[in-house]
Structure 1
Amino acid sequence: MSGELKRRILSGIVLAVVILAATYYGGNWFRLVAALTALLIYYEWSTMTRLAERNFRTNAFGWVIIGLLAADLVLNEGVFSVPVLGGATITAILLVLLGRANWWLPGGIVYSGLSGISLAAIRADDQAGLMAMLFIFAVVWATDILAYFVGRALKGPKLAPRISPGKTWSGAVGGTVSAIIASSALTLVVFSRLSLWTIVIAFLLSVASQIGDLFESFIKRRFGVKDSSHLIPGHGGVMDRVDGLVFACFAAFLLSVAYSALAGRPEMPVAAFLFGF
């Protein structure tokens, strides 16, 4: 076994243990992981898109905003995170329109900030939040793993050859089907029932996960980099590992917010949306 493979396996095990332990315990432990994820994603985003090289001040603005969001998640349970993210995004867009920044600034603020907010909101502090997070893990991991193996086995037409030449339609379909099966099995084990609603949600989250994967591939191809960073030995960067996960969380969180607003239930947890409570 090569040294690189050993580092990859070891770092993968450590990362999995830390994430699963934080997910299990929830509370401040998971919010700390969510906050750290937001900070590391902004670091990788700003590095890849060369925000600091283009304009040090506007990049510093991005760092201040993500730092405030991270602090709010850990110290105040994210009470002010959504308003802060909304205001910062509008400000960043105005900076772009005034010619003082480019569109990668608001993009990075939204991408990294929403990553932390959606992760923390989904896990919440109760047992239902734990189940919701495990549901999304099941969707994303099943999508990733089976898309790879089914795609290699069946091959066929490319999904997005200009962005990620290795991905195929057969892999995408195989990943989505396996995500529905895995998340449905988890739901049946935990709740002893399964609705069409949850199956549809699993389908949408699997599609979102694959879009997230393609989105990060587009950014890396756009800026000519192989990995988002070298923070994780043998695995590249944080964005390389969570690209599909954060997009699935985006979808779960935003769909939940939209549904709760339409249903007149502003305090409805994400878990209630996912499982149709």
Structure 2
Amino acid sequence: MASIGPYSFEPQPSGRGRHRAPDPDPDGPVRRPPEPAPGPPAEPRWDGPSWDEPAAPGRDESAGPRWDETAEQAVPPVRADRPPEPTGYAAPPAPAPVPAEAVPVPAPPVDPPAAPPESGKPRAGRNLPAAIGVGVGLGVVVLASLFLWRPAFLGVVAVGVVVGTWETVRAFGRAAEPEKRTRPPLVPLLVGAVAMQGLAWFGGLEALTIGLVFTLTAVLIWRLADGPPGFRRDVTSAALIAAYVPFLAGFGTLLARPEDGAERIVAALAMVVLSDTGGYAVGVFLGRHKMAPRISPGKSWEGFAGSVVTTAIGGAVLLLLLFHVPVWWGALFGVAVSLASVLGDLVESMIKRDLGIKDMGHLLPGHGGVMDRLDSILFAVPVSFALLSVLAPAAG
């Protein structure tokens, strides 16, 4: 140990050892580092081959890219023979399948019991007393106008045609689907409807046809004021209404023109009533096979057969009594008018189904609207006019 004056010192080794902590007391207690807290085991990590596993031949990819290549070029390709590295996240186990016997099956819904039919409601769904009362009242008005003062029948036809035209125009405007609604000009149709009946009464069939032409012309001119939108649809529907209601009704006016016009109207209307009544009665009690379920669900082939048989018998008897026509020709007249009557009913039902409405109107209790009563007559009177012109020509 060296000393300098009163001071003395011992040389220390150079380097890091000069700052090392003094050795612990060999006789003291042994201090150990604290044990880690218990927890989940650490996930295994794979940092390459272990000390006892030789590395794959080639360069060490863990050393990063070389100085002369980019990072993208240094990424090793995925080898098909090497399994993917573990991510440390395991997929949840799939749930065990539930046997089909353990799945509860809901019981099918039970339909409520059907309500018993009302005692006062007819099987055909029509208010029969009201329908009979309205039908009898209309028949009395028609017969009174024919036999008391025959020109009054022209007024009855004109009123019926005006109301029927108004109902049809209104039905076209209130179709269930907006794209099917049209706006036929009402004023020229009403004026033309009345004019056609007067022309038929005073001028005959040629004048009736001219009245239809002038009505269609008036419709075209009148519709120009409303502009282009919907022009074709409105004019087409107006032409259908003009030909369907007032023009066909004009043949009823032509039937009433001769001196025996009252008998001709009675023969035509009687066939329509017999066809409707016979078909209704047979269809209600014996109807099983639907005739046209998409057009008129209430009609059946059994009811149609009842209409034909009833009108054949009625036509044979009535034409023999009124015009002395042979029985076979009278039966043919009744069958032809019955076919036209059923066809007219189906056409009107088709129009209502297309428009999505139930009835054309509600003016006649038990019947619906006026058009719901005129539908069969409108097709029956042209056939009656044509056949009676051959079977029983009018004098003069």
CA distance 1:242–1:169, change in 2 (3 Å): same
- Structure 2 CA distance for aligned equivalents of residues 195 and 276 of structure 1: 17
Secondary structure of 2:298 counterpart: strand
- Indicate conservation of the 8 Å contact 1:208/1:244, yes or no: yes
54 and 273 in structure 1: CA distance in 2 versus 1, 3 angstrom threshold: same
Q: 2:160·2:370 contact (CA, 8 Å) conserved in 1?
A: yes
How many residues in Structure 1 have an aligned counterpart in Structure 2? 258
Which whole-Å CA distance do the structure 2 matches of 1:140 and 1:215 have between them?
15
**Which position in structure 1 is the counterpart of 2:277?**
145
Q: Residue by residue, what CA displacement relative to the aligned partner does 1:7-31 show, whole Å, maximum 9, x if unpaired?
A: 5554333222111212334531111
The Cα offsets for residues 241-267 of structure 1, whole Å up to 9 and x where unpaired, read as 1211121012233x35xxxxxxxxxxx
Is contact 2:200-2:254 (8 Å) kept? no
List alignment gaps of at least 5 residues for structure 1: 257-270
Relative distance call for 1:197 and 1:189 in structure 2 (3 A) is closer
Residue matched to 1:273: 390
Q: Does 2:324 match 1:201?
A: no
Q: How does 1:229-244 map to 2 (within 5 A)?
A: 229-244=361-376
The CA deviation string for residues 177-226 of structure 1, in whole angstroms up to 9 with x for no partner, is 11010111112223455153333232211100000111111112222222
Identity %: 28
Using the alignment, how far apart are the partners of 1:221 and 1:274 within structure 2?
Answer: 37
Cα deviation 1:15-68 (Å, max 9, x = unaligned)? 2211121233453111111111221111111011119x7346x33332332243
Deviations 1:109-129 (A, max 9, x none): 0112223311111122412x2
- Residues 112-261 of structure 1 correspond to what in structure 2 (within 5 A)? 112-127=245-260, 129-253=261-385, 255=386
Pair 1:81 & 2:208 matched:
yes
User: Are 1:110 and 2:243 counterparts?
Assistant: yes
Aligned to 1:13: 136
Q: Any stretches of 5+ residues in structure 2 without a counterpart?
A: 1-119, 122-126, 175-180
Q: What is the distance in 1 between the residues matched to 2:193 and 2:333?
A: 29
Which residue of structure 2 lines up, in the alignment, with residue 69 of structure 1?
A: 196
Root-mean-square deviation (CA, aligned residues, Å) is: 3.2
Partner of 1:44: 167
Give the structure with the higher percent helix.
1
Which structure would you say has the larger RCO, counting Cα contacts within 8 Å and 6 or more residues apart?
A: 1
Three-state SS of the structure 2 residue aligned to 1:197 is helix
- Cα distance in structure 2, aligned partners of 1:197 and 1:210: 20
* Shift of residue 171, structure 1, vs aligned partner: 0.8
Measured at CA, do residues 16 and 100 of structure 1 come closer, stay the same or move farther in structure 2, by a change above 3 Å?
A: closer
Distance 2:187 2:342 in 1: 31
Contact conserved, 1:150 with 1:170, CA < 8 A, in 2? yes
Letter in 2 for 1:61: P
State yes or no: 1:59 paired with 2:192: no
Relative to structure 1, is the Cα distance of residues 100 and 207 closer, same or farther in structure 2, using a 3 angstrom cutoff? Answer: closer
**8 Å contact kept, 2:315–2:332:** no
Q: Distance in 2 between matches of 1:108 and 1:158?
A: 29
